[in-house]
Amino acid sequence: MIFFAGNNPIWAFAILRRPGTDRRAFPNITNAKVWHVCHFSFLAFLLQLLSVSAVRSQVQVPVGSGIVRLEATQQSKQGDRYVADGDVVVRYLDVRLRADHIEYDSRTYEVFAKGHVIFDYNTQHMEAPQGQYNLRSDQGAFLHVHGTINVARRPNPNILFSTNPISFQADEVDRVAEQTYVFKKTWLTICMPNRPLWKFYSARSTLRVNDKVVLVRANFRLLKVPLIYLPYASVPAGQRVRQSGFLLPEVGNNTVNGFVLGDSYYWAPRDWMDAEIGAQILSKRGWGQSFDLRAVPASNMNLGVTYYGVEDRGLPAGPNGTLIPEGGSQAHLLFTSNFRQGWRGLADLSYLSSLTFRLAFATTFTEATSSEEHSDIFVTNNFRGFSLNIAALNYQDFLNAQPETSIVLRSAPEVRFSTTDRAFGSRWPVYFGFDSAVGAVRRSDTLIDTQQFVERSEVAPHLTLPMRWGSWFGITSTAGFRAIDYNEQLINGVPVARGLVHTDGEFSFELRPPALERIWDRGKAKWKHVIEPRIVYNYVTGIQDFSRIIRFDEDDTITHTSEVESGITQRFFRKTGDGQAEEFLTWRVAAKYYFDPTFGGALATGQRNVFAALDSVTPFAFADEPRHWSPIVSNVKMNYSAQYDIQLETDFDPLPNRLSAYGLIGTVHPFRQSFLSLAQFRLNTDPILQPRQNQIRVTGGWGQMNRKGWNTATSLAYDTIQHSLQYEVVQASYNGSCCGISFEYRRLALGPLRNDNQFRAALLIANIGTFGTLRRQERVF
């Protein structure tokens, strides 16, 4: 038999005999046994009636593609409406709704909840005193809500990253779709909700889970203090961190530009393209403009464009306070692409209006001290050992800012065709190769100004004969000639439109004696020392008119020479366990001996000379008089472990018997997050060759840009000859779980054109971006 208490079935067991059934069919059942069974069932029924309020009841109702499960301490049914009280739980698919009191309409699928309402759906969690929800449409509304929503995020090295969920509190929350919420009078943050460091307050906002949050009439508050009013804002809330909209404004101050206020608009129309356009107000100078574009329209194609310019009123100068503008602009375009049939193209274009502009408005020491601009366009195709290149090249080197002078070298258009060394026959180990070029060139400087297009053609074939004796000794000989035809030449230092044919014969051989090596064991590691000697002889003859050749590129600096270069390279290897052998120390020493100290009369005494025979051994000029020996070049590289790295380059000039050039770069990571870098560059040559220099640069710090906790770094550049601190920067930041703050002091002292102090600060908002004047690309770490 079955009893019901409310909607709860209560099962009791009894044995009933169907009328007309012979009792003998149950021979083992007596009247006493039947009476005992009935008595037991009746007692069980009374006990369940007494305890029915303490047992949770369950109801399962089919809905669409799932079943609604309703659990409660007490429940009843009135037609299509279920009423439940006491720790009520409603489950449907991935939705779980809990409350003290719930009413469910099985006809409309509407759920009304009241009292400690808790809504959970996957990573979405809300709590409210009351709310309603439709199980079929996934729509609902909740009042006086607080909760959290976890979203999937992709780490971005450009911003502070946090895995904290989005925490919110709102007067009303409407769930309009499975992944869309509309908040009214709300605040949002990813900080800990009990003590948030920052919040976004908004009259109305829309959250699309794993996409973005749209804020309307919002303001950003730091420590409950309103900082920024945003009539409309869009914040990333998913793996796609790029969203179109206005960025956080830039606010700052420095001693030269004054108060700085700027903002930018970020546009991301496609996954493969984004752009940023911005403007700045400089209270003491004028206003600036900036533009950045990035595009990857195909897997083998990239495009990048940057622009920065300033409309400058100028700073007062002179006794009358005359304003001297220093404005200008700079731009850079980089385009690379692979085309069909093996063609590859590149366009790397740079533009700088003036060196004065760069010195006045560059934000970093490296940028401010860069005076060269390169622009290159070319397409190339390498096929079956041949190489075809079509190019347009332009080089500009700014020599002085006031008065502004520069050197311009241009080669446009130009076609080059060459081949790798090819076997001349099957019987003899002779290889043939050539280089050829034809195009138009131009040079413009303070002394020489050629025509816009000077025709130049060149051909240089050569034969190579490699010979080896065993596996340990070899000589490689190369012989060829070079012919260059110009339609303009120098006569008494003045360009004249008159043809000139420059020819020479070239011969070289390279001798590589057998390398010496030794292997030994020490501890658990194996060590290896290798000594590699090298001797190269070069001979160039036939050049009688070097003074009439206009120097456009390195091919025009070839002079008569007879020289031998000798050098020794020592390598040290270490191998531990089953790992690969690693080269931790390399030391190369080399020098040249010139049999002809005047280079066929091309060397001019008492002035700086730069030839191919001279700058192939060291990049620093050293010849202002005839000489047989070049400086002795030493280059040491050591990388003993991941914590230490050092490189030392020295040039010892035997003629004046002094160390003419010295360069040291060392990096050390002594422990944990600390780092220290030291660099010194010293030129101790005759001022005729180049000005003497001795600069020291130091960079050190603790931590990384997006590391949690305290991070600090400092960098400086000191000129020991001028006794001047040219550059100094100190940065400190603290990053928490949801935000960070950075401070910076920066000083640039670059002579009369630039001497200013800058104070910068930035607020790093996790997963969103940076608010302030300290940009990522200008950080020390």
pLDDT range class, residue 776, cuts 50, 70, 90: low
Residue 6 falls in which region: left (phi positive, over 0), alpha (psi -120 to 50) or beta:
left
Residue 741's Cβ-side half-sphere holds a number of Cα atoms within 13 Å equal to 5
**DSSP assignment string, 465-481:** EEEEETTTEEEEEEEEE
Lowest mean pLDDT among 167-176, 399-408, 506-515: 399-408
How many other CB atoms are found less than 10 A from the CB of residue 440?
A: 17
Cα gap 369→372, rounded to integer Å: 9
Q: What is the pLDDT of residue 134?
A: 93
Start-to-end CA distance of the chain, whole Å, equals: 80
Q: Are 631 and 651 in contact (CB under 8 A)?
A: yes
pLDDT, greater one: 24 or 134: 134
Cα gap 666→674, rounded to integer Å: 14
Cα gap 92→71, rounded to integer Å: 12
Residue 40 has pLDDT above 70, yes or no: no
95 burial (CB, 10 Å; 0-12 / 13-18 / 19+) is buried
Which tokens is 705 given?
A: 């840009």
Q: Residue written as tokens 């998913």?
A: 238
Which tokens is 754 given?
A: 């630039």
pLDDT, greater one: 539 or 673: 539
Q: Which residues of 357-383 are buried (b: 16+ CB within 10 A; e: fewer)?
A: bbbbbbbebeebeebebebbbbeeeee
Which DSSP helix (H) or strand (E) runs through 33? helix 31-51
Q: Which residues pair with 374 in a beta bridge?
A: 395
Among 68-72, 452-456, 771-775, name the most confident range. 452-456
Which DSSP helix (H) or strand (E) runs through 39? helix 31-51
Residue 85 has pLDDT above 60, yes or no: yes
Q: Which residues pair with 395 in a beta bridge?
A: 374, 409
How many other CB atoms are found less than 10 A from the CB of residue 687?
A: 7
pLDDT range class, residue 58, cuts 50, 70, 90: low
Q: Are 528 and 572 in contact (CB under 8 A)?
A: yes
Mean pLDDT across 210-218: 89
Lowest mean pLDDT among 46-60, 78-92, 229-243, 316-330: 46-60
Helix or strand or coil: residue 223? coil
Cα gap 207→161, rounded to integer Å: 19
Q: Residue written as tokens 């660099």?
A: 679
**DSSP assignment string, 375-410:** EEEEEEEEETTEEEEEEEEEEEEEEETTTTEEEEEE
Q: Which residues of 231-258 are buried (b: 16+ CB within 10 A; e: fewer)?
A: eebbbbbbeebebeeebbbbbbbbebbe
Dihedral sign for Cα atoms in the order 29, 34, 36, 37: positive
Q: Are 117 and 129 in contact (CB under 8 A)?
A: yes
Cα gap 772→756, rounded to integer Å: 19
Per-residue DSSP letter, 54: G
Q: What are phi and psi of 47, to 5 degrees?
A: -65, -40
Mean pLDDT across 575-598: 90
Cα gap 277→261, rounded to integer Å: 15
Which tokens is 489 given?
A: 């030449």
Q: What percent of the chain has pLDDT over 90?
A: 56
Cα gap 557→484, rounded to integer Å: 12
Q: What percent of the chain has pLDDT over 70?
A: 90
How many other CB atoms are found less than 10 A from the CB of residue 104?
A: 28
Cα gap 701→742, rounded to integer Å: 14
**DSSP assignment string, 315-367:** EEETTTTEEE---EEEEEEEEEEE-GGGEEEEEEEEEES-HHHHHHH-SSHHH
Mean pLDDT across 577-596: 90
Mean pLDDT across 542-546: 86
Cα gap 200→637, rounded to integer Å: 53
Q: What is the pLDDT of residues 468-481, one digit of tens each?
A: 877 777 899 999 99
Mean pLDDT across 730-741: 90
Identify each DSSP E strand in 577-605 by its residue range. 582-594
